Amino acid sequence: MVIDAAKGIEARTRKLFEVCRLRDIPIITFINKMDRESRDPFDLLDEIEKTLALDTAPMTWPIGRGRDFVGTLDVATGAVRLMDGTNRGTPRQMDVAALAALNPNLDAAALAEEFALVRQACRPFDLAAFREGHLTPVFFGPASPKTSTATPSTSPAASSISTTPASERRESSSTDVKDVKATKAA
């Protein structure tokens, strides 16, 4: 499920979610366009939980928003993926002061507080809840795939999520779009 960071959950997303719920299909959420003006990530998680009645588990967290977006933090490992030109998307360890130094509009104390809140207040990933369709892992990233920082981590929780390409999943699926439409109409 892809959610626009500025618009939140749109009508088409709701419809897709309903189809997935009817089929008991686990949902992975990607909140994109964090490098553009966007809503607060906590508000977006809250909207997913309230609107779709689906628990969220942030797997990555945005470092800055809009023009101040510099990359994402892997919540489980603390690794950082930056949108810089040299090693774009490569996980690396950085302290909060070094992250804040990347952009003059980022405040080290505010970043540290936000990261601590995410780790303490947000649900951890639970594979059983994900498979049952009760929880969605959430990844954040930029608008452009050329600058993607949302690559799932190598943490045990993230590595257990299927990353099979859609073309391969389609071949193994017995569900056709016509079947989904017929189910919805019934």
The number of distinct structural domains making up the chain is 1
**What is the reported pLDDT for 136?**
96
Q: What is the CATH number of the domain that holds 173?
A: 3.40.50.300
User: Residue 65: is its pLDDT beyond 50?
Assistant: yes
pLDDT tier at 42, thresholds 50, 70, 90? very high
**Which of 26-35, 118-127, 142-151 is least confident?**
142-151
**Domain residue limits at 20:** 2-185
For 43, 48, 98, 171, 181, the CA distances from 10, given in Å and listed in that order, are: 15, 11, 36, 28, 19
3-state secondary structure of 171: helix
Type and span of the H or E element at 139: strand 135-140
The pLDDT of 98-107, averaged and rounded, is 92
Assess whether pLDDT exceeds 50 at residue 182.
no
